[in-house]
Amino acid sequence: MAENRNPPARLPIQSAPRRLLARVRDVMAAGGEAQSRLDEITRIIAADMVAEVCSVYVRRPGDVLELFATQGLKSTAVHNTRLAIGEGIIGDIAATARPFALSDAQSHPNFAYRPETGEEIFHSMMGVPVLRGGRVIGVVAVQNRTQRHYVDEEVETLQTVAMVLAELVAGGELVDGKELSVGDGSTARPLRLEGIALSPGIGMGTAVLHAPKVNIEKMVAEDPVEETNRLHRAFSEMHGAIDGLLAVEHLADGGEHMDVLETYRLIAEDAGWLKRIEEGIETGLTAEASVQRVQNDIRARMTQISDAYLRERVHDLDDLAHRLMVHLSGENGGTSVRELADDSILIARSMGPAQLLDYDYARLKGVILEGGAPTSHVAIVARALGIPVVGKAREIFQHAEDGDTVIVDADRAQAFVRPGEDALQAYVENLRVLEEQRAVYAALLDQPARSLDGVDVDLQINAGLMIDVAHLNGSGASGIGLFRTEIPFMVRAKFPGVDEQSGVYREVLDEAGDKPVVFRTLDIGGDKALPYWQTGSEENPAIGWRAIRLSLDRPALLRQQLRALIRAATGRELNVLFPMVADVPEFILARALVDKEMDREKERGGALPSSVRVGAMLEVPSLAVQLETLLDYADFLSVGSNDLGQFLFASDRGNPKLSGRYDTLSPVQLKFLKNIVDTCLKRDIHLSLCGEMAGSPLEAMALLGVGFRRLSMAGTCIGPVKAMVRSLDIAALEGFMDLHYDLPERTLREQLKAFAIDRGVAI
């Protein structure tokens, strides 16, 4: 079947970008001083693109962009003009890792005038980031005196040249690579690092550093048709290797980890991904260089997203891109298992799930990652294999060396490098506690989430991919309280059609069986940009053109999604949730579109859902003021605690300077939530809460005291939260909290902890 995956070579080949690439390649291969070569390349780009200016900025320590070469601006500005990341249009390109094309750059609100450059006579500007490993290391821009409208093909050409230029910028000749190094170089002392638990358990062993890299020896293609054929052969080989991973004996019983690998198949077979790589080849890149360019672009875009769940998907795509390049290069055929010594601990900046399976997992006692999240696919596969994983261990890669003794304590979200005697003794004690905890959670799996005073609590999961849906069976959750529908849009090269969307939603409903699923409509825009749809940059994307605002302004997009949901839910209950509703008229307009699509489906003779419930996500405080009116139109309400918290306090949750300033367990936020609960209870409206608060036992306990009885969280949080519920007297907690709502305190965290400890609540 492999040969059926090879589409025919794409023709015709575009000649202009290839000609420019060839000239740039010749300069880079000619030798000589790096600065001289960079100067010559800027001259060539300007001439070939019919631009009066071409400038190259290089990122320096302190997040500063320095003008390193220019054709057309004043030569005295070179190495003297500097812009901070985010300053001016050039700084914006670096900050967002996205291209800009402006016919009148000087009228742009972010234009930063530098008199020493002499650029005041130039109006139009096109610039693209210079990316290396998904990180912006510079910017290349062209300018013209006239108000020129740059076309997409010109932007693509400059992006391709920027990728080749990255080799020169990052080569160590223009700037010393040590400038950007992290750490003090000292690795001899014992080290304890805190992180987050991605897969439970404890392990000790010898450090093995994971640093996958395929060297691209040739960037510019001689024969694009042959490069396209090489790409298709490698795709076919990669699919065969993934088929082999599915046959791993220890994983063959099925479960969420198998869905991870099935998801790999879907992404790898996605025509949009393949098409973008083919387009890179058409511009003159080799197959390897085109794969790298596409992945650099995806990584740069997705790391700008504040949503941790979506941001983690970049590691899966990194994994696939690396795997494809391995097959292109012919290194080991991409199929051999990497041997490990007994009791090894793998240390990596990031990993995809298939990369973990490339190692002999029988000898792997733990994994430590600099990045990662509980919903990351590598964490799911690790849990299936019983391998403990600690993520967010900052700078572990700089401090650990191959052969170091390492302890992974995922139960306490910490890791020890070269541990002392005290840590080694604690490790033995932790193993004993771990065995006791495993027995407790195993006994709770089929038990109800019922409090000591007989209150039933509905624990549901958040999901966005089929691998998340699999948590329903393994965690004992009662349903999917939030399914993020934007994921299928973000991994494709174009908008998925109605049939394609409907297939995804139908599969989710089939997997969920008789358990309810709440589908949140598209939450895109702002920092969740689609690769094929430029919505423009915004100063405040979190409160900008996103979610329901974007959907109502583009009703055809929303109607297609609603149409797909209705067709997927034939004969079943359909729950539709609209995100970021700020006022009642928005919800009324959105609900009217649901009714129109129901009427449309009925008129065409299609089968309808057995019932349709339409709800609003309460994330914007203004909606709480209109709650009584809203409940005349909404069937249910879901509180999005993440956004609600930051909007309530006007505090950017992604800003480290504000981290910890406002607590989710403050009397202000808890009283705000209680007012919502009381109103919904009075009106007999179903209410739930999804977000990070729901998945933490202490925060979830507070929510139960406020009055919530339905919580939606990551699947891995169900067990700990259920244990908390079953050890709690909710009536006693409600009485305790009634005494604290009006206190002039910043947080009730310590008071709630004391309540739990005094009464033996499992937090």
CA–CA separation, 682 and 739 (whole Å): 22
Token couple for 162: 């920027």
Determine which one of 123, 315, 399, 690 is catalytic: 690
Tokens 């947080």 belong to residue: 747
CB contact at 8 A, 561 and 521: yes
H helix runs in 50-144, sequence order: 88-96
State the CB neighbour count (10 A cutoff) for residue 433: 12
- Please list the residues that pair with 367 across neighbouring strands: 346, 389
State the CB neighbour count (10 A cutoff) for residue 267: 16
Cβ-proximal residues to 751 (8 Å cutoff; 6+ apart), any chain: 740
CA–CA separation, 181 and 420 (whole Å): 28
CA–CA separation, 718 and 701 (whole Å): 13
CA–CA separation, 488 and 408 (whole Å): 34
Q: What's the 3-state SS for 683-734?
A: HCCEEEEECHHHHCHHHHHHHHHHCCCEEEECHHHHHHHHHHHHCCCHHHHH
- Please list the residues that pair with 210 across neighbouring strands: 348
For residue 377, indicate whether it is catalytic: yes
Measured on CA atoms in the order 362, 366, 371, 375, is the torsion positive or negative?
positive
Please report, for residues 20, 138, 267, 287, 760, the alpha-carbon distance to residue 279 in angstroms, rounded to integers and kept in the order given.
Answer: 16, 23, 18, 10, 61
Determine which one of 377, 471, 680, 717 is catalytic: 377
For residue 717, indicate whether it is catalytic: no
255: left (phi over 0), alpha (psi -120 to 50) or beta: left
Please report, for residues 92, 184, 402, the alpha-carbon distance to residue 188 in angstroms, rounded to integers and kept in the order given.
Answer: 41, 11, 12
CA–CA separation, 63 and 84 (whole Å): 6
743: left (phi over 0), alpha (psi -120 to 50) or beta: beta
Q: Specify the DSSP element, H or E, that contains 610.
A: none
Cβ-proximal residues to 404 (8 Å cutoff; 6+ apart), any chain: 187, 206, 207, 417, 418
User: Catalytic amino acids?
Assistant: 377, 690
